Chains A and B, each alone.
Chain A
Amino acid sequence: MSDPETSLAAIRELNPKLNAFIRIADSVTGTRPIAVKDNIVTTDLPTTCGSRILPNFTSPFDATAVARLRAWGAAIVGKTNMDEFAMGSSNEHSAFGPARNPWDLARVPGGSSGGSAAAVAARLVPAALGSETGGSVRQPAAFCGVVGFKPTYGRVSRYGLVAFASGLDQIGIVTKTVRECAEILGVIAGHDPLDSTSSRVDVDDYARDLGSGVKGLRFGIVSEAVDKLEGEVRANFDAAVDVLRRGGAIVESASVPSIGYAIAIYYIVANAEASANLSRFDGIRYGHRSKRARTLDEVYFDSRGEGFGAEVKRRIMLGTFALSSGYYDAYYGRAQRVRAKLRHDFGEAFRTFDYLITPTTPEPAFEIGAKTEDPLSMYLSDIFTAPANLVGIPAIAVPSGFDRGGLPLSLQIMGPHFAERAIFRAADWYENETGYWRTAPPIVNVTR
């Protein structure tokens, strides 16, 4: 399936079950169907960020990544469902209701780019853009059995990506195969004068090393992340290690001593930045304005109180607290210093290893409702993915098989800054060697 009309027909047929799209295009130009997460702005479709605070916002400009995709021939077939403002790991924090996992409709697709991952997994589109702040592309890709990639911080312009945590955010890619992912990165990567944080490092030929194998490449197993794991996730990871070794890779234990602090760092740094970024949603220039507001203060307080959902408010509150007078050094300052230590620890590990590997998630997709009453347990779903965002390195999630219940499991491969080409080489080899990407979820076979 590669033409937009076939894609649109499939979306119209399955979206009532999956809720993967917030908005479906009526008609498209372009020849290559692609879905775009609804926090990346487009001129032809509204952008909601999965929030009630942006009920009818249509951007006056395209995001740079979208503009580059259109120039390449992309047809933007729709905007995908997401946790509100990309804050969540299950898609349940969407104002438009949760997207569902194509492998089991009672389970979450992961988040926050859950709609993008579900859409690719259900073969509605060959590729989708997502966004990453702490694993929001890789974690849902893992839950849905597809490829999810986060580029190096600064590799892809964020102009037109609605800001969550500017020191962490990156646009990411969801595809069925690693090769498609490498191709799309080549289209959207590169410096953009409209995003000062976009890198001037030359864009690589990302597909060049595909097919070169893994013989002699050095993979480090992050022991602090993997040693405590048990059960099927651990057995699946060990099997992936065996595959790499049989291919001639050198796989040994690696140490990143501070990795266990990643989630604690993340929820201070990301929320602090979010509390500042989301102050722009004030009911004045765009978005929801409270009907009952009579004074300027009421416009701010009531519009935000009515427009933001519970998780977004929780994070703004935590971030505001961490930046507030008297707590800044103890929380934000300290989190940034532990983050510097984490960056140092990764740098040390990459002196010995070309790659660091872990499972992408500590468990497969959970049931809808299982974690909504316990925010902290939801946060820990990103325990293996958040470190790459904090350090700014590229990382990929690639399908590694299924558990006994038939739910997808996933291998994460991380590399040093700007090692995208090397990551694609290893992930593509592993993907071809194992072939899990060929298995589509039952919903595809049943209905089409």
Chain B
Amino acid sequence: MKIDRDEARRIAGLAHLEFDDDGLVRMAGEMTKILSYIDQLREVDVEGFEEHDATVTPMRDDEPRASIDREKVARNAPAWRDGLFVVPKVIGGE
């Protein structure tokens, strides 16, 4: 599988990662090399083997319980005001 710069840019967009042009070219080359190794999986006969096994992760009961103390959450937040996370304006122009 060959990854070119445009494909690397598309994937970086999906992954929310910023790269400069040189970084994208380097990443495309590395991904191509790694994927060419991974492509050996194509030769395996997987007839009869499913993508998901039958085990199901059990869920705990949906009961209210004490959550993390807000003060402690605030301590780790990059921007926090009046009990809320602060982010740049999402709706409308500047």
Interface residues of A (CB under 8 A from B): 56-58, 60-61, 193, 196-197, 258, 261, 263-265, 267-268, 275, 279, 282-289, 293-296, 298-302, 304-306, 308, 313-314, 316-318, 320-321, 324, 330-331, 333-338, 340-341, 343-344, 375-376, 379
Contacts and interface: CB of A to CB of B under 8 A. Distances in A.
Nearest to B8: A317
Given A196-B59, A279-B16, A58 B76 contact: yes
Contact of B11 (A57, A58, A301, A317): A317
Contacts of A324: 11, 14
B90 A338 contact: no
Interface hub of B16, B41, B42, B85 (most chain A Cβ within 10 A):
B16
Interface in B2-17: 3, 8, 11-12, 14-17
Contact of B41 (A265, A294, A298, A308): A265
B14 A320 contact: yes
B85 A285 contact: yes
Interface residues of B, number: 45
A296 B88 contact: yes
A376 B60 contact: no
B52 A60 contact: no
B18 A305 contact: yes
A133 to B, nearest CB: 17
B12 to A, nearest CB: 7
B27 interface: yes
Contacts of B21: none
A300 B14 CA distance: 11
14 contacts: A263-B37, A264-B40, A275-B15, A285-B73, A285-B77, A288-B78, A305-B18, A308-B17, A317-B27, A330-B42, A338-B41, A344-B49, A375-B30, A376-B33
Given A306-B18, A376-B33, 19 more contacts: A193-B60, A261-B41, A275-B15, A286-B77, A293-B88, A304-B17, A305-B17, A308-B17, A316-B15, A317-B11, A317-B17, A318-B35, A324-B14, A331-B38, A333-B51, A337-B49, A340-B46, A340-B49, A344-B49
B49 A61 contact: no
Nearest to B38: A264
A57 B31 contact: no
Give the top 8 A-B pairs by smallest Cβ distance, nearest first: A305-B18, A60-B72, A289-B78, A337-B46, A340-B49, A286-B76, A301-B18, A320-B15
B76 A57 contact: yes
B18 A296 contact: no
A175 to B, nearest CB: 30
Contacts of A301: 16-18
Given A299-B87, A317-B15, A287 B78 contact: yes
Nearest to B51: A336
A313 B77 CA distance: 23
Nearest to B72: A60
A11 to B, nearest CB: 26
Nearest to A327: B1
B34 A294 contact: no
Contacts of B59: 196
Given A317-B31, A321-B11, A337 B16 contact: no
Interface hub of A61, A287, A318 (most chain B Cβ within 10 A):
A318
A294 B87 CA distance: 9
